[in-house]
């Protein structure tokens, strides 16, 4: 029986240090599974930060399918490479998750514990359009851009610790993060006319049902290709009791009970700070910014998912 993939070409980009460092031992199995299903497969392994972006920018247009084997950071690099291509030349995108938290894979409902099962999603799933984000007109992102308490845990946690413990490694960094909580004075404006200001400890713009493996959003709320993002705002607590209450609400997805833990939806959000604040994009450090604009890029790529 002729396969949909017969005669098509696949570029597989592998981050060999993502997750638990098993990529090299599994490389042949990954390539073989694609080859037996009719795909002419080329494999590249990344060597340093930014390598996936460079590979995809240089070679991506020569392929029908682009497959990522790595974590959310590798996915982010690939997307930034794809966005340099003309829209009509962008290949279909498949994902074999191998990171520490795999927020994006959980959102896409891609199995995270089996290469075979993840590849099955590519071979038998549906390529569906998906929104991406743009941060300060410079960097594209896949599932979240965030600022405030706890956002530096992901890039401050040593890679060896993440490889060994997975997402639980982040909790080892949490005590120092809690001690470092400080009020962030900022103004927020959305494209839909919502304006708010004051002292906050956390804000995130996301297109995901999972952020850092701990903040969860209902699938009924998150539309991956609806042209909107979810905006989470948590105000600064003045007592330990308030902090406990607001973090409990965040964990329990109890938003908008008052003005302290809010969930909004927007296609564009502007942030203005009294002093530059560190941002992360898909779990990677994105620099200090006194002003930030986060906007939706509607349906630039098609991703295989369940």
Domains 9-124 and 140-298 alike in fold:
no
Q: What is the reported pLDDT for 3?
A: 65
Question: What is the DSSP secondary structure assignment for residue 87, as one 8-state letter?
Answer: G
CA-closest candidate to residue 41, choices 3, 13, 18, 16: 13
Whose tokens are 């297109």? That residue is 207
pTM of the model: 0.86
What residues does each domain of the chain span? 9-124, 140-298
Is the model more confident about 213 or about 152? 213
Q: What is the reported pLDDT for 35?
A: 83
Residues 6+ apart with CB under 8 A from 32: none
For the domain 9-124, what is the CATH code? 3.40.50.10330
For the domain 140-298, what is the CATH code? 2.60.200.40
The three-point CA angle 166-168-173 to 5° equals 115
Q: Are 157 and 73 in contact (CB under 8 A)?
A: no
Give the phi and the psi of residue 164 in degrees, each rounded to 5: -80, -45
User: Which pLDDT band, with edges at 50, 70 and 90, does 166 fall under?
Assistant: very low
Question: What is the DSSP secondary structure assignment for residue 149, as one 8-state letter?
Answer: T
pLDDT digits (tens, 9 = 90+) for 223-261: 999 999 999 999 998 888 888 888 888 888 999 999 999
On the question of pLDDT at 168 being above 80, the answer is no
Whole-angstrom Cα distance, residue 119 to residue 121?
Answer: 5
Helix or strand or coil: residue 183? coil
């Amino acid at each position: 029986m002729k396969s949909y993939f017969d005669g098509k070409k696949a570029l597989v980009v592998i981050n060999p240090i993502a997750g638990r460092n098993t990529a090299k031992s599994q490389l042949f199995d990954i390539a073989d599974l694609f080859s037996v299903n009719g795909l002419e497969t080329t494999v590249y392994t990344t060597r340093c930060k930014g390598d996936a972006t460079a590979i995809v920018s240089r070679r991506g247009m020569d392929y029908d399918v682009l497959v990522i084997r790595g974590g959310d950071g590798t996915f982010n690099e690939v997307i930034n490479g794809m966005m340099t291509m003309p829209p009509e030349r962008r290949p279909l995108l498949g994902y074999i998750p191998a990171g520490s938290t795999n927020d994006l894979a959980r959102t896409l409902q891609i199995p995270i514990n089996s290469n075979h099962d993840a590849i099955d999603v590519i071979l038998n799933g549906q390529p569906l359009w998906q929104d991406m984000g743009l941060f300060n007109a410079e960097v594209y992102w896949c599932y979240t851009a965030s600022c405030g308490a706890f956002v530096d845990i992901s890039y401050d946690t040593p890679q060896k610790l993440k490889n060994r413990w997975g997402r639980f490694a982040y909790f080892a960094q949490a005590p120092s993060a809690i001690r470092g909580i400080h009020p962030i004075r900022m103004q927020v404006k959305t494209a839909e006319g919502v304006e708010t200001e004051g002292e906050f400890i956390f804000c995130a713009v996301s297109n995901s049902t999972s952020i850092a493996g701990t903040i969860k959003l209902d699938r009924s709320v998150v539309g991956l290709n609806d042209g909107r993002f979810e905006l989470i705002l948590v105000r600064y607590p003045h007592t330990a009791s308030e902090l406990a209450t607001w973090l409990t609400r965040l964990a329990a997805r109890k938003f908008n009970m008052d003005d302290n833990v809010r969930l909004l939806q927007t296609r564009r959000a502007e942030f203005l700070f009294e002093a530059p604040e560190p941002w992360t994009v898909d779990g990677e450090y994105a620099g200090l910014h006194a002003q930030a604009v986060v906007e939706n890029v509607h349906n630039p790529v098609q991703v295989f998912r369940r």
